[in-house]
Amino acid sequence: MTDVLIVGAGPTGLTLACDLARRGTAVRIIDRRAAPHRESRGKGLHPRSLEVFEALGAAEPVLATGTVRLVLRKYFDGVHVKDTDPFGDDAPLPRSPYRSGVLIGQWQVEEILRRRLGGFGVAVEYGADLTALTQDTEGVNAVLADGRTLRTAHLVGCDGGRSTVRMVLGITFEGHTGPAPTMVCGDVEAPGLSREYWHQWFTSEREGMMLCPMPGTDSFQLQASPEHDDRGVCMTPSLEGFQRLFDRHARMPGIRLQQASWLSTWQVNVRLADRLRVGRVFLAGDAAHVHPIAGGLGMNTGIQDAFNLGWKLALALTGHAGQALLDTYEEERLPVAAATLDITTDRLLRVLEAVRQPGKGTETGLTPPLGTTYRWSSLARGDGTRTLRPGDRAPDALATDGSGRPVRLHELLAEPRFTLLGFGPAVATALRDVAASYGDVVSTHALHPAPARAGVAADEDASRVYGIDGKALVLVRPDMHVALVAPGDDPGPVRAYLDGLRG
């Protein structure tokens, strides 16, 4: 019997598989497709997702493959009116090292995660279509279309908006779906069209077309208002149809679209599962929530689901936590998913209104990172500091460790355990006490002010960033959110917190 069976090998499932595998959890991941796809689909990773990928050891190839800068070239009624660089003023900061997102195709993200998962000795099992499941007090039986039954302690459905896992569980998927497709999309080549820009053509009739160059390929992702037949029905996407749309909007007769490798439609779909857990089975990513594409939050929200769930499953499987910890996955992620639906719906309306004005485009739908705090969670204990409260994302900052070595806090927090940070003098005894009793689930670090040097501002020092005057203990969860802040010479609150996880 495996520890965790993941159904669906998209970004959510692969992130969860990598996180569990690096913790030593026995994990299998299956997918109904016969082989990996090569479609751009969701095409951007937000800064918080990059922090997750850094912890998984996958950020470097993502940055090498994607791009952090892209100018939006705006056209209105066929005329070039403006260029916009929405990220031109962004610069990485120690407290948020990935302030800019990365443009990268979804298939490339999945390829990088599969490669990383392979480094842990795990491969995606393709052609494995789940059709049914049952569960008991000891585990879950997953029945596949080929007649096999896989036995697992826990199962996680990451199998998309049409999730079989969700349907089998009978979980309500509340919300609404638009009456007809509102966009056609695909991957095409456009020889002769500049790849220095994300081209965005809009018209006074609120129609439009966009071609975004996908890094590391010769393709553009195409998004456009659909064509309709004489009955007003949306026409099936095709290369010929894409060319007609391009000619109407771009008015560049020398450009011929080629190699349409992905043809699809999109319609408004806003839905949220009423539960994320039924016994030993969980939902994550699009299986749990789908929403408008404005702001590019879909893939990123699923990645955050996975990073929240992975460490909780691992601790429960090793006996270091009880069932109550698994309940906090729904407690924390369901409100974030609900907020995502509200925000993306609002941003989509903003974009649709903005593009009626010359020079306006998709930058209107840009959204701040979501899920950066769980202050409402039962896992957020006690008071915080003048800048940080339990439940908040633990910011990156600079410090020196006990040997005088300069460190970034996120390098320490990337370990697949709780991290106890000791600030100020006289914390060594408390750190040793925790390490002696909980060393298998907690790593401890004594920190001192970052050394003054050229290019390092005073407010980049860890003590200032974390709002600590004097001495304190900061316990950080394995997903890099603050669990609690305690006095620097008293390990009691930390011990009580960790003991409480067992239930």
Average pLDDT over residues 451-464: 66
Q: How far apart are CA 96 and CA 416, in angstroms?
A: 20
* 160 and 73 in a common domain: no
Is 488 within 8 Å of 472 (Cβ atoms)? yes
Average pLDDT over residues 432-458: 81
* 146 and 78 in a common domain: no
* 152 and 288 in a common domain: yes
CATH code of the domain in which 452 resides: 3.40.30.20
The tens digit of pLDDT for each residue in 161-199 reads: 999 999 999 999 998 887 878 889 999 999 999 999 999
Mean pLDDT of the chain: 90
Average pLDDT over residues 435-447: 95
Backbone dihedral region of 373: left (phi > 0), alpha (psi from -120 to 50 degrees) or beta?
A: beta
* 231 and 329 in a common domain: no
pLDDT band at 294 (very low <50, low <70, confident <90, very high): low
* 205 and 144 in a common domain: no
Average pLDDT over residues 370-392: 89
Q: How far apart are CA 25 and CA 45, in angstroms?
A: 26
pTM, rounded to two decimals = 0.94
Count of other CB atoms within 10 angstroms of residue 258:
14
Is 223 within 8 Å of 182 (Cβ atoms)? no
Is residue 157, in this structure, part of any structural domain at all? Answer: yes
* 122 and 28 in a common domain: yes
* 331 and 263 in a common domain: no
Strand bridging mode 2-7 / 418-423: unpaired
Domain region containing 485? 398-500
pLDDT of residue 454: 44
Of the three residues 240, 267, 294, the one that is the final residue of a domain is 267
* 357 and 261 in a common domain: no
What is the rounded end-to-end Cα distance, in angstroms, of the chain?
25
CATH code of the domain in which 197 resides: 3.30.9.10
* 322 and 278 in a common domain: yes
List beta partners, residue 134.
Answer: 141
Is residue 377, in this structure, part of any structural domain at all? Answer: no
Long-range contacts of 403-406 (CB under 8 A, 24+ apart): 404/448, 406/450, 406/451
